[in-house]
Amino acid sequence: MIHLPEAFISQTKSLLGLEETEALIKALSEEAPTSIRVNPNKATAISGESVPWCETGYYLSERPSFTLDPLFHAGAYYVQEASSMFLSQVIKALPEEPRRVLDLCAAPGGKSTLWRAELPEQTLLVANEPIHRRAMILAENLAKWGHPDVIVTEDYPKSFSHLPGCFDVIAADVPCSGEGMFRKDPGAIDEWSKENVDFCAQRQFEIISDVWPALREGGFLVYSTCTFNRAENEDNIERICRELGAETLPIPIKEEWKIRGSLTKDSLHVYHFFPHCTRGEGIFFALLRKTSATAPEKKSKGRPELVSQQLARQLSAWVDAKEPLAFLLSDNNMVQGVKEDFLSIAWQIKKQIKTIRAGINIAEIKGKKLIPQPDLALSTIVSPEIFPKVVLNYEQAIAYLRHEALNLDTTERGYLLATYEDRNLGFLNNLGSRANNLYPSEWRIRKQC
């Protein structure tokens, strides 16, 4: 049986009662289920039981080595805890179709990839993570997911206050005491204390307060934690409603899902996942509508720095986009492709927020050369005609993902798309005598077979 702090057990008894607390402790002592969510744009056949609240989610009977699966690196699926996939139902419950969504605390990318999979095509997703190391993981996972209408940023919530009323939806999976992760992360048990719960609750409210000006009046906040207690959940939701100006909205659920409502007030629309009730980890969701006023949206001065028309025509042949792209010249001579409809807001964000990537990294300009980028290979808009494909078997695919040299059986020269089971993995530059592996060294597989 898992050993939990007495203060946590006492806290949980006050919320759930003795019988349910014992059932929760028993569930936390059992093995956590393994679940994945498939990429609808890179569909792959999955043999597993469906996650009831997410059409693209599946439970697996055993946990394979995802690191040694090329399809995982191709973005064909994402390994995600099943309870957090309830976000799918939250998105469906939005009363309006959003145009701009900010995922504020987005690393490593599970919820961001789900947002991007289920949002309408005319919606821009901004995925943010303030910690650099985690922000780079977020950028990698979103690049592998492959959707072009994403901006990845690396900044703190307060910075977004300089974009008043910019977003229709802000999702905040706020840092928490991690009670819902006790089963998956034993270290979370050692770090737990009542003082840390109180600290997290105050920090969470400050995060929402800092970003609140960026949410338009009538816009929506999706608040989530991976914890059980009322201080970080119900109490914070009530405080947001009372002090910032908001109301909770209902999310349709089915009785057989065994999702719990508010532990404090029946009138509060909130949703708890407990491991002894649902097949997943502990998580909490609430959907709120902002009722307070917001300052008018500001427009940035100046114009985006675009590549020349000649270069734009050349790069346009590299993509197969449904709508025209604008090609931004970013730092380090990187060209990023952004849908023209999103150019103005992308430029506005880049002026105010530290931005890692706007849209898709298309090419690096190196002297007179254009070097296609891994993001382009993994994206859903790479041209199927410009870059010849080379089919890799499993051993070759793993070698490629290890950033090793390959011997290719092909007469094609120049930049080639390395593929495995009809999914793109990245680019190679075949010079004839050798093939340069262009897979990013920082993404390479280090685990041995």
Q: Classify the C-alpha dihedral 114-29-257-266 as positive or negative.
A: negative
pLDDT higher than 80, residue 16 = yes
> Considering 54, 166, 176, 226, which one is annotated as catalytic?
226
Q: Tell me, what's the pLDDT at 330?
A: 87
pLDDT higher than 90, residue 447 = no
144 SS3 class: helix
Reported as a pLDDT band with limits 50, 70 and 90, residue 45 is confident
Amino acid at 38: V
> What does the pLDDT look like over 342-377, one tens digit per residue?
999 999 999 999 999 999 999 999 998 999 999 999
Annotated binding site for S-adenosyl-L-methionine: 105-111, 129, 173
In eight-state DSSP terms, residue 323 is S
Q: Answer yes or no: 226 catalytic.
A: yes
Reported as a pLDDT band with limits 50, 70 and 90, residue 147 is very high
> What does the pLDDT look like over 248-265, one tens digit per residue?
999 999 999 999 999 999
Rounded average pLDDT over 143-157: 98
Read off the tokens for 16: 């759930």
Give 83-145+152-290's CATH code, choosing from 2.60.260.20, 3.40.50.1100, 3.40.50.150, 3.30.2130.10: 3.40.50.150
Q: Are 123 and 115 in contact (CB under 8 A)?
A: no
pLDDT over 90, % of the chain = 88
Rounded average pLDDT over 337-346: 96
Q: Are 343 and 122 in contact (CB under 8 A)?
A: no
Q: Are 339 and 160 in contact (CB under 8 A)?
A: no
Read off the tokens for 310: 């000649």
Letter string b/e over residues 345-376, b meaning 16 or more CB atoms within 10 A of that residue's CB: bbbbbbebbebbbbbbbbbeeeeeebebbbbb
Annotated binding site: 105-111, 129, 173
Residue 63, CA distances (Å) to 33, 36, 67, 100 in order: 9, 10, 11, 36
Reported as a pLDDT band with limits 50, 70 and 90, residue 297 is confident
Torsion angles phi and psi, residue 437, rounded to 5: -85, 115
Cα separation, 286 vs 434, in Å, equals 55
> What does the pLDDT look like over 434-443, one tens digit per residue?
889 999 999 9
Q: Which fold has domain 387-448?
A: Nuclear Transport Factor 2; Chain: A, (3.10.450)
Of 271-280, 287-296, 406-415, where does mean pLDDT reach its minimum? 406-415
Reported as a pLDDT band with limits 50, 70 and 90, residue 175 is very high
Reported as a pLDDT band with limits 50, 70 and 90, residue 11 is very high
Of 37-51, 226-240, 243-257, 280-294, where does mean pLDDT reach its minimum? 37-51
Q: What is 299-383's CATH number?
A: 3.10.450.720
Q: Are 151 and 126 in contact (CB under 8 A)?
A: yes
Q: Are 356 and 154 in contact (CB under 8 A)?
A: yes
Rounded average pLDDT over 315-334: 91
Tell me the average pLDDT of the chain: 95
Q: Classify the C-alpha dihedral 302-304-308-313 as positive or negative.
A: negative
363's CB contacts (< 8 A; 6+ apart) are: 315, 318, 334, 335, 370, 371, 372, 373, 376
Provide the 10 A C-beta neighbour count for residue 289. Answer: 19
| Domain ranges, ordered by start, for the chain | 83-145+152-290, 299-383, 387-448
pLDDT higher than 80, residue 163 = yes
Same fold, 299-383 and 387-448: yes
Reported as a pLDDT band with limits 50, 70 and 90, residue 301 is confident
